[in-house]
Each structure stands twice: as structure tokens, then as C-alpha cells.
Structure 1
């Protein structure tokens, strides 16, 4: 029965990873989902050697996939923080230099947004051409992004269609500067946390490396198949998973559900935080 449960968990982890994978930007650091293949391999091997270890490893793989899926929106928000300044600056330039209406200028400049939003941007541009309703054209994009600074920016843009060109340009300049400040703060935070991210990777890599050395020196895996060995291995895998999830809570990219004020406050708090 335990072997069947392990198999279900392994298959569920693979399916969830395949369905939820939507590349947003290149990964620069070791993420939770990159540990999944290792854990799935361990769980498959453990089905033959020890169903208990397979259950823990497969469960850990599934948990890490779910955690990584929840971070996809956070990664999109990080990519947007870099793109918004360019989009807003180009929109202001098109309004002043080319005399384009704000909606047309925005959709032309929105090519700088992440590729994952390209379909929604194109659909919004076509919607505006047909209806002339800028707010309705932005609605699908707002729904996709959810609460956050990007949504606030889109709603502000929708309200600028009724103001003068000079006022719209001034507002766009302010919004651009705010996004630039937020992105710089986020980049500084990421730099400060890079060492901690490397340490988090070692939390997972070192125990498995030591286990492999132990198998080589000990002449086989027989000690791990005893009741004590299985119990200690199960406890160790559980602790490793919990440590990864605990560290991920502090090292994950900033959530996309935060407003600009909450986002800046969280960045500053994390930058000033020191381990006890």
C-alpha cells in the first residue's frame, strides 16, 4: 500500500510540474523546482529499497513543485518592475513627440513587457481599436496580474485619458520614477540575499553528498536498510524539507500581492534584518 502511495505522489509531482511550468525569466539561482528531479529519482529508487523514504522524498518533491508554482507570479512581478520604467518612458515620449493618444502610445510601448503577457497586450490593443474603451481593454491584463503595483499603474493609466497631455506626461514621469526606485531596491535586496541562497542550496546538497560518501566507505547501503537506518533517513529527509521551506519563506522574491507601500516596507525590513 505504501508503495502505491509513493507511486501516486511521484506521478502527481511530475504532472503538476509539467502543467504548472511557465518560464517567465531565466533562473539565476537554485530554485525549489530544480531539486524536484533529484527527489523524484530518490523516491523511485526508494520504492524498491524503502517505501517509507520514497514517501518522504516524493512528498517533498510535490511540496516544492507547489511552492515554486506559487512563486511564478512573484517572478513575473520582478520582471515587471524592470520593464515598467521603459514602458512608461516610451509612452510619454510617444505622446509628446508623435502626438499619439495615451492608449495607442501605451500598447505600442507595451512590447517591453514580459513575453508571457504578449497575448493579453495584443488582445487589449485589438479591443481598444474596436471599442475605443481603454479601461475595458486593460481589464484582462489587470485580472491576470492581480492586486499589486502593476495593477495600480494600469488603473492610473486608464484614468489619464481624461486629463491634459502635460498632466499625463507629468504623471507618467512620476510613475516611472517610482517603479525605477522599487526595482533598484529589489535588486539591492537580491544581491544581499545571494549568499543566503547559496547556503540554502548547500542545506540540500551536503546531506546527500555525505550519504553517498557513507555508502562508499561503508561498503553498501545495508546500514540504511535497517530499522534504525530507515528511521534516521526518514527524519533527515523531513528536516531537510522543512529547512528548505523555512528558508524559502525569507528568500523568495517579493510577492505580487503587495501594494507599492507594503512592497517598499517589506524590502526595507528584509534589508535591515539580521539573523539572531
Structure 2
């Protein structure tokens, strides 16, 4: 029981370290204070890499100790530690994809606001774009702020849109930026109809992706449940027969290692076939 309690505490610590932006309990926020202070004092990318490395190292240590508590030996704990080290980077990548999906769903409302500001309030296209960007989701606001700063310093709309496209790296953003640039430079291109068409296309794509994720909810739950069953059965096996001594034997270590490889392979295979393909970017210079 002490070993299982250690595993649970270690997994909770790894989760808190690898999800600094999650809504965790208020009492655990002090654990993330040093990471947040480092994020404000250093560039974002190095801090993210450092956080990922720390989370991977902690997950490997927790996986090794947990596997050694259950199975003993060296082969099985080492294999579990290797897969445990890869868990936080994969979790962070999935979280980035979810944030990108949330940003995609915001484009229809942003386009509608831009269309209203341009056609009904008479604002210029750059002013309407950056005004709408101030109400964008949190994941998109830094890109709009950087583009607005470029516009205020240079009044070069093309350079500002280039900054926006680079920061967002989104096919919908590319199409919107190219349409707005053409309307700003040429004029008389029926911006109202074009923005309405872009908003309808973005709405259709967001609805299709949301529907696909909803249909996969049961399969994703089943994948997690099936992956947790072998670990639960392994814990129960400690109280049957010789328990840990059987796991520590050579044959036991080989069987445990084979089981870990099979579960990890099935997880990766299921993740691959359930991945929703991303739309390729076209307007990339």
C-alpha cells in the first residue's frame, strides 16, 4: 500500500508539473510558482523546453520506482521509465493541438465582427482586424498584439499580416490574411461577401471537427480504460501466490516487458488511427 500511495503521489506531482495552465487545486499552485517566475524572466520557448524536460525526468523517475515497487528487477522498471519519460511531451503536444482547435472555432465570430466593423461602422480593414483580435481567445491574443504593434510602428499592413500568419500558423488565418490584404491594397473586391464566405467555411470546418471529436469520445475513453486494466491486474497479482517474487524472476520480467510493449504499441496505434488530419497551409511564403 505504501508503494501504491507513492505512485499516486508521484503521478499527481508529474501532472501538476506538466500542466502549468490547468485549473488545479488552489493549495497546489505554490508548486508551480518557480516555473511561472522563470517564465516571466526568460523567453517562452526555453522555459517550455525546461518544463518539458523536468516533467519527463520526473515521470521517468516515478515510472521506474512504481514499476520496481510492483515488479522488482531492472528490465521492466527501465522500460516503464522510458515510456513514462515520453508521456509529458505527448501530453503537452495534445494540449497544444486542443488549444489550436479552440482557436479555429473562434474564427467565424472574429470574421463576423470584422465584417460588421468594416461594412457598417466604416472602419478601415487594419483597424477592424486588430479591434476584433483584442476580443480573440487567450491563445490568439499575443499574435494579434504583436501584429498590431508592427502596424503601429510601420503602418505596413502586409508586414503586420505576415507577423500574424507566422504566429498563428493556421490555414484559416492564412486565407483571412490574404483576403484582407487584397481588399486593403486593391479595394472594391466585395469584402462583405468574401468575409461572409470565409466565415461560413470556417464555421463548417469547426463544426465538422467538433463532430469528429465528439464521435471519438467513446473510443478515447475505451483506450484509456483498456490501458489501465493491465496495471490494475498487475497490482492485484501482488497478493496472489508468490506475488512480487514471481515478477522478479527472469520469465516474469520478460513477460512484464512484453506486456508493456504491447500496451504501448496498441496505444500508439490507436492514437494514430484516431488522429484528425489537419488542413494544410497554402499561403506560406
| Equivalent of residue 41 in structure 1, options 56, 62, 84 | 62
Residue 262 of structure 2 corresponds to residue 215 of structure 1: no
Task: Indicate the residue corresponding to 2:266 in structure 1.
Answer: 243
Task: Indicate the residue corresponding to 2:218 in structure 1.
Answer: 195
Task: Indicate the residue corresponding to 2:44 in structure 1.
Answer: none
- Note the C-alpha offset of 1:238: 1.0
Q: SS state of the match for residue 240, structure 1? A: helix
Gapped runs of 5+ residues in structure 2? 1-13, 25-51
Instruction: Give the aligned length.
Output: 236
Task: Indicate the residue corresponding to 2:8 in structure 1.
Answer: none
Q: Is the 8 A contact 1:85 1:176 kept in 2?
A: yes
User: Any residues of structure 2 matched to 1:1-276 within 5 Å, and which?
Assistant: 23=21, 41-46=62-67, 49-146=72-169, 148-164=171-187, 167-218=190-241, 220-255=243-278, 258-259=280-281
Large movers: runs of 4+ above 6 Å: 36-39
- Note the C-alpha offset of 1:183: 0.7
Q: Is the 8 A contact 1:148 1:258 kept in 2?
A: yes
TM-score (norm: length of structure 1)? 0.74
Q: SS state of the match for residue 238, structure 2? A: helix
- Note the C-alpha offset of 1:146: 2.9
What whole-Å deviation, never above 9, does each CA across 1:127-185 have from its counterpart, x for those lacking one?
A: 21222111211222212333633323223222221244671111110100000000111
Q: SS state of the match for residue 50, structure 1? A: coil
Q: Is the 8 A contact 1:24 1:115 kept in 2?
A: no
Cα RMSD (Å): 3.1
Q: Which moved more, 1:194-203 or 1:244-253?
A: 244-253
CA–CA distance in 2 between the matches of 1:141 and 1:79?
17
Q: Which moved more, 1:46-55 or 1:187-196?
A: 46-55
Q: Is the 8 A contact 1:25 1:75 kept in 2?
A: no
CA–CA distance in 1 between the matches of 2:254 and 2:201?
53
TM-score (norm: length of structure 2)? 0.72
Q: SS state of the match for residue 115, structure 1? A: coil
- Note the C-alpha offset of 1:219: 5.8
Q: Which moved more, 1:56-65 or 1:69-78?
A: 69-78
- Note the C-alpha offset of 1:24: 9.3
The structure whose RCO (Cα within 8 Å, separation 6+) is larger is: 1
What whole-Å deviation, never above 9, does each CA across 1:3-42 have from its counterpart, x for those lacking one?
A: xxxxxxxxxxx7xx96x8675999xxxxxx9xx8877523
